[in-house]
Amino acid sequence: MIRRIQQVRAHATPLFALLALLAFAGVSSAETLLIERVQEENPAAIPARGQTMAQVEARHGAPVERMDPRGGQKRQWPTINRWVYPAFTVYFEKNVVIDVVINQAGPGEIGPKPPIL
């Protein structure tokens, strides 16, 4: 058992050294994480789950882009509509909000991949 612990320590030491070196070099602080910006945002500034398309459009205006619906080929696969606003993308199942995703502010921000068209 002691030998196994020593082997694990031997393998973990280079990893910890690399992480410390990266933190010291400032690599982790040079990038902005999308989650950090999302936590700072006002939750009232984005649509809430359960709102209808009409409520979202009345509060936030017309979307920049209404992407083509996906799904709906079978009864078990509901149609998903996506509306893109400058700051976020809204996902609707039928006409009800099921999720809202904050868009990347710029190329230096680490966040979700662009939508599949």
* pLDDT digit string, tens, across residues 63-105: 999 999 999 888 888 999 999 998 889 999 989 999 988 887 6
CA 58 vs. chain centroid, Å, equals 24
* pLDDT digit string, tens, across residues 34-62: 556 555 666 668 899 999 999 999 999 99
Establish how many alpha carbons lie within 13 A of residue 81's alpha carbon, considering only the half-sphere containing its beta carbon. 13
What is the pairing mode between strands 32-33 and 109-110? parallel
